[in-house]
Amino acid sequence: MKNTNSLPASRATKQLSALLVASLVSVSASTTALADDNHNTYAPVRADGHAPIGVMGDHMHKKGEWMLSYRFMHMDMEGNQIGKDNVSPQEVISQPNRFSGLPMMPGKLRVVPTKMTMDMHMLGAMYAPTNNVTLMAMLPIIEKDMDHLTFNGSGNLLGGFSTKTDGIGDLKFSSLIGLYNDGRTKVHLNAGFSAPTGSITERGNVLTPMNTTANLRLPYAMQLGTGTFDLLPGITIQSRSGDFSYGAQFMARFHLGTNDEGYSWGDKQELTAWIAYQWAPWISTSLRVKGTNQSKISGIDSQIAAPVQTADPNNYGGERIDLLGGVNFILPDGPLKGHRFALEAGAPVYQDLNGPQMETDFTITLGWQKAF
């Protein structure tokens, strides 16, 4: 039941990503021999020496240096869109139900998600075996909550219910490979992958259109991982001029094959750019724009079948542009000297979703980092 129309493009992107990773390994081997003098011309410690806290894999470390980090990320979603247009629950239940041919299934959607929150605790560690390579590992701990309304076959509201999942997500490993560093401008490659440590078989109790309660495998949006090994290639550039600093990063996520349940998340690309101003060496503020593009889910989990939009693999992915503001602190003295604290919050200014699909309202990220 795969979407065969997307397979050639999917194979092409995965082949390109494999070639990219092979190239990164080659680049790493060749660039490790660069003179250390070029990589020891680090600028004085500044609050904007790191990117806004919502950007991952943004900076490298000197040989032998470690860094531990913690991020708390909150995302709030409310309401639904089809393409660029907002739609009401009544408009959602006028949409056809993909599973209408199955026994006891209505012809139209009858369960509508109205609100979703996701909280993520991201634990991170970085270590630099050389001045030209920094290794990074990140483990997410995720909690998701989604509220729904259920309508009967005649379109009358029966009531509401909520589902919840929590646990670890997919573990990520990356190698940051330096390409250029003159003490002011730095460029590095991001070569990473994620392992399928997050569950994709979470279940929950739902209110059905027949006004009964059933325990079902929850839709894709409520699962905790992708179920596949994924490649995470990218490139990052940062520079500064006086009290201003700026940077940009491109990151992609390519899913390798299908998971054990018969589907694969759509490949994803993100491009972000930011500018920051240092008010004093210990504090800076930033403005960032981020664009995201993601394909639909390919394939289907045979155990996910319900008259709700989130059960249809075609109702995933789309395009989004976010605008975010942030503040970075690095404590200059005292018992917490050298500890970094940061906050970034933002909201979409453009969403074109493969829908019906829930729209994102806002995101907040809080973080702590300490190098030693």
* pLDDT tens digits, 99-117: 999 998 999 999 999 999 9
What pLDDT is stored for residue 136 in this prediction?
98
pLDDT tops 50 at residue 5: no
Largest CA distance in the chain: 74
pLDDT-derived band at 30 (thresholds 50, 70, 90) equals: very low
Domain range for residue 75? 4-371
* Integer Cα distance of 126 and 59 in angstroms: 10
pLDDT at 13 over 80: no
* CATH number for the domain harbouring residue 326: 2.40.128.130
pLDDT of residue 20: 42
Q: Is 338 left (phi over 0), alpha (psi -120 to 50) or beta?
A: left
195-216: average pLDDT: 97
Q: Is 260 exposed, middle or buried, given 0-12, 13-18 or 19+ CB atoms closer than 10 A?
A: exposed
305 vs 289: CA distance, rounded Å: 37
Give the chain's end-to-end CA distance (angstroms, integer). 51
What one-character-per-residue DSSP string does 13-24 give?
HHHHHHHHHHHH
DSSP string, 41-71: -PPPP-GGGS--TT-SS-----TT-EEEEEE
Provide the pLDDT for residue 355: 86
Q: What is the mean pLDDT of the chain?
A: 90
Residue 195 has a pLDDT of 98
Q: Is the pLDDT of residue 17 over 80?
A: no
Residue 11 has pLDDT above 60, yes or no: no
46/278 Cα distance (integer angstroms) = 8
Number of structural domains in the chain: 1
The closest of 346, 370, 372 to 360, measured between CA atoms, is: 346
pLDDT band at 44 (very low <50, low <70, confident <90, very high): low
328 beta partners: 284, 342
Assigned token pair, 77? 């979603």
Q: Is the pLDDT of residue 7 over 90?
A: no
pLDDT of residue 29 exceeding 80: no
Q: Please, which pLDDT band fits residue 45 given cuts at 50, 70 and 90?
A: confident
Which phi and psi angles does 284 have, rounded to 5°?
-145, 155
pLDDT at residue 138 in the model: 98
Q: Which pLDDT score is estimated for 4?
A: 37
Amino acid at 100: S
pTM value? 0.87
User: 74: closest CA among 357, 366, 348?
Assistant: 366
Q: How confident is the model at residue 8 (pLDDT cuts 50, 70, 90)?
A: very low
